[in-house]
């Protein structure tokens, strides 16, 4: 075990190496470039492969190739790059190929700017590519979690033969914090479906096309079954002082950090406020939201978008409780003070 002071972006690379990733294919984009740069430095030192591709389209197809050949593979990018990978992500889902993809969210739409937003939520959580598929989405809120979640995502990707996304944001990536490098390093085992270019695996076929309605429909049903299983087994979340709370913040990534400070300030003022933090965005903790709603706790979704997570939370709350949304755009983040003021105002209104 060792402690390092690292950027979230750097911690991703350490997590990847501990998680048995052998291949990193990358393309530069702010604010994710440090991940490729660190991979270019550390992967060869660790006897693993780094290659800078000619585009994000090529990146995702290199992942497709290396993953077909049984390797543990990853890349990291930001909104515009992830959008270019959409088709490839869909192919990987259709062909049941495991991979890990990091999205360090920046502002959009279009070129946007390089400061944080959480506006890739719909693209990443709902699909982005064509067809009926899912990706597993983990949402770290510290450098330590960037390390831990990346590390474990390779095993998860292999288990379900799915893409695991690390959906983070520019702040979490650029911020330096303490990271404890710990855990048992893992390696990929032999995969019975992979194409290894040997006699044993010669009959293996990686494809996503079935020119027969029954076969394609059976394949798609199998995918949905996998998603259903993954959604039962992978849920992760954190409660902070929600038990007696009248108002519960719901947030992930940088917003969860800001909310954590707001909860502490509000508690010091004697107000019953908590934080619920989904650590998986797909699957999203539906039951917990329903329980909050049944208990009539006001849910305040704080996110750097127009309310993408908030609309999912509203769906689960289903009108049983009030769901408020506090959002911002373009790299602006809500301040702790603004959240505190807003909650005080809200509680005041309700008691007025």
Partner 1 sequence: MPDVQIQYSKSASMYQLFFRKENDQKTTHYCPGCGHGTAQKLIASVIDELAIQDRTVFLSPVGCSVFSYYYFDTGNIQCSHGRAPAVATGIRRTLSDAIIIAYQGDGDLAGIGMTEIVHAANRGENITVFFINNAIYGMTGGQMAPTTPIGVKTLTTPEGRSKSRDGNPIGMCELLASLQAPAYIERCSLSTPKQVLRTRLAIKKALDYQVRKKGFSFVEILSPCPTNWRMSPLDARAWIAGELEGDIFPLKCFRDVPQEIQPDSLSVIRPDIVTLLTKDSILKTSYDGPPRAPKYIKIAGFGGQGVLSAGELVAFSALEEGFNVSWLPSYGPEMRGGSANASVICSDEPIGSPVVDCPNVLIAMNNPSLELFENSVTNNGIIVLNSSLVERKPRRTDVKTYAIPATDIAKKAGLVSAANVVMITALAAITGFLHVSTVKHSIGNVLRKKLYTDKNLEIVENTLSYLREKEMM
Q: Map the footprint of partner 1 across residues 332-351, applying CB under 8 A.
A: 333, 335-337
Q: Does 45 bind partner 1 (CB under 8 A)?
A: yes
Helix, strand or coil, per DSSP, at residue 328: coil
List the x/- string, 121-160, binding to partner 1 by CB under 8 A: ----------------------------------------
CA distance 290 to 296: 10
Min dist. Cβ of residue 249 to partner 1 (A): 11
Out of 40, 83, 84, 95, which residue is the one contacting partner 1 (CB under 8 A)? 95
What SS3 string covers 91-138? HHHHCCCCEEEEEEECCCCCCCCCCCCCCCHHHHHHCCCCCCCCCEEE
Which tokens in the block code for residue 142?
């510290």
CB 28 to partner 1: min, Å = 14
Question: How many residues comprise the chain?
Answer: 352
β-bridge mates for residue 137, sequence order: 165, 282
Residues 170-189 that bind partner 1 (CB under 8 A): 171, 174-178, 181, 185
Shortest Å, Cβ 316 to partner 1: 26
**φ and ψ of 251, to 5 deg:** -160, 160
53 sits near partner 1 (criterion: CB under 8 A)? yes
Interface with partner 1 (CB under 8 A), residue from 37, 201, 226, 246: 201
| Among 196, 290, 306, 347, contact with partner 1 (rule: CB under 8 A) | 196
Binders of partner 1 among residues 281 to 340 (CB under 8 A) are: 333, 335-337
Binding residue for partner 1, selected from 12, 26, 29, 31, defined by CB under 8 A: 31
Question: To 5 degrees, how large is the angle CA 10–CA 13–CA 17?
Answer: 145
Alpha-carbon distances of 170 from 107, 141, 176, rounded to whole Å: 9, 11, 12
Stretch that binds partner 1, among 202-210, 276-284, 305-313, 344-352 (CB under 8 A): 202-210
The footprint of partner 1 on residues 60-89 (CB under 8 A) is: 61-71, 73, 87-88
From candidates 36, 39, 81, 91, binder to partner 1 by CB under 8 A: 91
Considering only CA atoms, which of 304, 249, 246, 244 is closest in space to residue 276? Answer: 249
Q: Which of 253, 110, 99, 120 is nearest to 174 (CA)?
A: 253
Q: How many CB atoms lie within 10 A of CB 269?
A: 10
Binds partner 1 (CB under 8 A): choice among 39, 139, 260, 317: 260
State yes or no: residue 224 binds partner 1 (CB under 8 A).
no
């Amino acid at each position: 075990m060792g402690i390092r002071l690292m950027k979230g972006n750097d911690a991703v690379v350490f997590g990847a190496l501990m998680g048995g990733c052998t291949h990193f294919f990358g393309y530069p984009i702010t604010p994710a470039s440090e991940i490729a740069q660190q991979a270019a430095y550390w992967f060869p030192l660790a006897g693993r492969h780094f290659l800078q591709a000619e585009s994000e389209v090529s990146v995702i197809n290199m992942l497709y190739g290396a993953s077909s050949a049984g390797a543990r593979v990853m890349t990291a990018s930001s909104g515009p790059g992830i959008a270019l990978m959409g088709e490839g992500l869909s192919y990987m889902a259709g062909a049941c190929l495991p991979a890990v993809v990091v999205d360090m969210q920046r502002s959009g739409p279009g070129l946007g700017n390089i400061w944080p937003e959480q506006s890739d939520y719909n693209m990443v959580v709902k699909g982005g590519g064509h067809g009926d598929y899912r990706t597993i989405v983990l949402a770290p809120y510290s450098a330590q979690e960037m390390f831990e979640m990346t590390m474990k995502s390779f095993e998860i990707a292999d288990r379900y033969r799915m893409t695991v996304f690390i959906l983070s944001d520019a702040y979490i990536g650029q911020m330096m914090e303490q990271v404890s490098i710990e855990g048992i390093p893992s390696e990929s085992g032999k995969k019975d479906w992979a194409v290894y270019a040997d006699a044993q695996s010669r009959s293996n076929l990686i494809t996503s096309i079935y020119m027969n309605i029954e076969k394609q429909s059976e394949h798609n049903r199998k995918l949905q079954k996998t998603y259903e299983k993954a959604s039962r087994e992978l849920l992760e979340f954190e409660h902070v002082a929600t038990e007696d709370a009248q108002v519960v913040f719901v947030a992930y990534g940088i917003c969860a950090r800001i909310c954590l400070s707001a909860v502490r300030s509000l508690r010091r003022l004697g107000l019953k406020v908590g934080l619920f933090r989904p650590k998986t965005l797909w699957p999203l903790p539906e039951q917990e939201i329903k329980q909050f709603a049944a208990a009539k706790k006001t849910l305040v979704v704080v996110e750097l978008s127009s309310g993408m997570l908030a609309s999912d939370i509203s769906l689960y709350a289903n009108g049983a409780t009030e769901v408020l949304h506090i959002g911002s755009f373009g790299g602006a983040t809500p301040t702790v003070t603004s959240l505190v003021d807003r909650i005080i105002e809200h509680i005041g209104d309700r008691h007025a």
